[in-house]
Amino acid sequence: MLRKIVTKIIHDAIEDARNSGLVPPDIKPNFIIEIPREEGFGDYSTNIAFTLAPVLKKKPVDIAGMLAGLMKKSTSCNSIEVAGSGFINFSLKDELWQQLLADVHRKGTESLYPDVGGGKKVLIEFVSANPTGPLHIGHGRGAAVGDVLANILQKTGHFVQKEYYINDAGRQIKTLGRSTFLRFKELTGDAVEYEKDLYQGDYVRELAGRAIEEKLPVPADPEEAVSFLAQFASRAIMDGIEKDLGDFGVFFDNFFLESTLYASGIVDETLRILKQQGIAYENDGALWFKTSLFEKDEDRVLIKSDGENTYFTSDIAYHLDKFKRSFDMLVDIWGSDHHGYIPRLRASVQALGRNKEDLKFLLIQFVTLIKEGKPVGMSTRSGEFTTLREVLDEVGRDACRFFFLMRKSDAHLEFDLDLARKTSNENPVYYIQYAHARIESIFRNAADAGVDLEAIAGADCSLLVLKEELELIKWITRYHGVLEGSSRNLEPHRIAFYLIELVGRFHSYYNKTRVLGTDIELTRCRLLLLGALRGVIRDGLGLIGVSIPERM
């Protein structure tokens, strides 16, 4: 948050150096300011001397010394030091941090939200599982990542919509209809041969059973019965999916049906555009898309020689539709097994005249469930066989969501069910929630002791002089940068890691320092500190979608 002060100091120093002829007038500074890993290196640090070294043909240390010399006149720093082989380290005055804390407390956690998007409209499409079976654990991970990413983007200056796409026009739904139909016949006493490529799950038999129980008017004609049962089954499964998602805390703004693409004529329009531009061409009786024009990938078929569209065609149309709904940026969240599909879709948005940066992909790697130290199921892809519902019922929503957010989305996730269920110090969810409960408890005790909680807003923050207190302040305000990085890079997991780090500082402080004491002024400002901290913890947990207990 105070980075801009450092930025100005550096720019001023360069300006001074130019004026006094120490550097050429046309020099253009190129540098970064970072928070050093080591606390001893100050609050911020810059590498400017290294980037200037080749230009000025001098040693970095000397350049750093020269610039630091010009900076000494600054009033916002305790120290500006040259360290290592040429870093310039800045230590800002404590009062700046104390003042910033007071600001954050007064204006609320929102004042720490960075504006990354500038009002940009973003559509995040995720889960998008076909209603042919219940959501498995991999879908759950995608749901958590998508939902939290949406929250993050929303808070950082984007207008966000969440969408679930359903392939209701394809063969999978027909297969579901046939599966249900055969189970239906089975249950009504007919001998049937259940083919291998039909859906094997028990839920199909249950659905068929329900159709019988509820005395649904299943048509006598087999073909009609299949499509009737396809309708019934997919609707019922979709209801179940929405229920699972709801219980998981994930809600969509829109469910988009593939069939509407055909009804609205946008598929035809897509093909027309592609043909007009010569990006679609005929060969062997099929219509092809010239992927190779945009990406390192082979050309792909749009219309098969039997006249049927491929899924690729409706996917292009779908993305055209998204852009037509005036979204500036699209985010597609897919299972990583679909990564091979990315080049052609990326090519297609370029064919439609958009920048390739307008479509971003997030890949969700497989989840391996671990129980008693061993992977659940026969395969490492056990996630395929365990439903979200089962895990949700077993470990609860909080642990489930948090665990999904504890890894980069494109990295394999080992989900330790025993750990997630533990209400102990090994479980990071409780570690964070416990910090909040402790703070709440302190506030309750303060109120009981007659401390005027309204008055803490005016507390004198200059009393917060302990090393731990200043570090806590810095970590609280760092929320700004974490949100920014998380938003810019589309990496929700950063929030989870930040929260663990943040409350770690708090727990440590708590064990060492008493907040409520006889010195009322000191008590007030420490409560102010905890108030701001509580705000960030709540905000962060809210972002992840984990509950915020007042007591534990």
CB burial readout 461-493, b (16+ within 10 A) else e: bebbeeeebbebbbbbbbbbbbbbebbeebbbb
User: Is the CB of residue 138 less than 8 Å from the CB of residue 367?
Assistant: yes
Shortest Å, Cβ 511 to RNA: 4
* Residue 130 structure tokens: 């076909």
Shortest Å, Cβ 535 to RNA: 18
With CA atoms as reference, report the closest residue to 525 among 436, 479, 465, 448. Answer: 465
DSSP state of 546: -
Comparison of 134 and 428: residue with beta carbon closer to RNA = 428
53 Cβ contact list (under 8 Å, min separation 6): 59, 60, 63, 86
Comparison of 46 and 161: residue with beta carbon closer to RNA = 46
Q: How many residues are listed for the chain in this entry? A: 552
Comparison of 247 and 426: residue with beta carbon closer to RNA = 426
Comparison of 197 and 214: residue with beta carbon closer to RNA = 197
Comparison of 106 and 174: residue with beta carbon closer to RNA = 174
Shortest Å, Cβ 217 to RNA: 27
Shortest Å, Cβ 63 to RNA: 11
CA distances from 93 to 46, 70, 76, 460 (A): 17, 18, 6, 16
Q: How many Cβ atoms sit within 10 Å of the Cβ of residue 400?
A: 27
Residue whose pair of structure tokens reads 């693409």 in the numeric block: 261
- Measured CA to CA, the distance from residue 5 to residue 11 in angstroms comes to 10
Shortest Å, Cβ 372 to RNA: 13
Residue whose pair of structure tokens reads 């980075």 in the numeric block: 3
Shortest Å, Cβ 311 to RNA: 4
User: Is the CB of residue 46 less than 8 Å from the CB of residue 63?
Assistant: no
Long-range pairs for 323-326 at CB < 8 Å and ≥24 separation?
A: 323/349, 323/352, 323/354, 323/358, 324/266, 325/123, 326/121
Comparison of 186 and 394: residue with beta carbon closer to RNA = 394
Strands (DSSP E) found in 290-429? 300-303, 329-335, 359-364, 367-371, 374-375, 413-416
- DSSP three-state, residue 79: strand
Comparison of 96 and 370: residue with beta carbon closer to RNA = 370
Comparison of 221 and 521: residue with beta carbon closer to RNA = 521
Comparison of 161 and 179: residue with beta carbon closer to RNA = 179
Shortest Å, Cβ 168 to RNA: 10
Shortest Å, Cβ 157 to RNA: 18
Shortest Å, Cβ 2 to RNA: 14
Comparison of 69 and 396: residue with beta carbon closer to RNA = 396
Comparison of 187 and 281: residue with beta carbon closer to RNA = 281
User: Is the CB of residue 82 less than 8 Å from the CB of residue 451?
Assistant: no
Shortest Å, Cβ 363 to RNA: 7
Shortest Å, Cβ 343 to RNA: 7
Task: Sort strands 87-92 and 77-83 into parallel, antiparallel or unpaired.
Answer: antiparallel
Indicate left, alpha or beta for 439 from its phi (over 0: left) and psi (-120 to 50: alpha). Answer: alpha
Secondary structure (DSSP) of 46-71: E-HHHHHHHHHTS-HHHHHHHHHHHH
Comparison of 430 and 479: residue with beta carbon closer to RNA = 430
Comparison of 90 and 203: residue with beta carbon closer to RNA = 90
Shortest Å, Cβ 41 to RNA: 4
- Measured CA to CA, the distance from residue 310 to residue 313 in angstroms comes to 6
Shortest Å, Cβ 328 to RNA: 18
Q: How many Cβ atoms sit within 10 Å of the Cβ of residue 419?
A: 17
Shortest Å, Cβ 121 to RNA: 21
Q: What is the 3-state secondary structure (H, E, C) of 465-515?
A: CCHHHHHHHHHHHCHHHHHHHHHHCCCCHHHHHHHHHHHHHHHHHHHHCCC
CA distances from 497 to 245, 396, 521 (A): 24, 20, 33
- Measured CA to CA, the distance from residue 100 to residue 95 in angstroms comes to 8
Comparison of 201 and 504: residue with beta carbon closer to RNA = 504
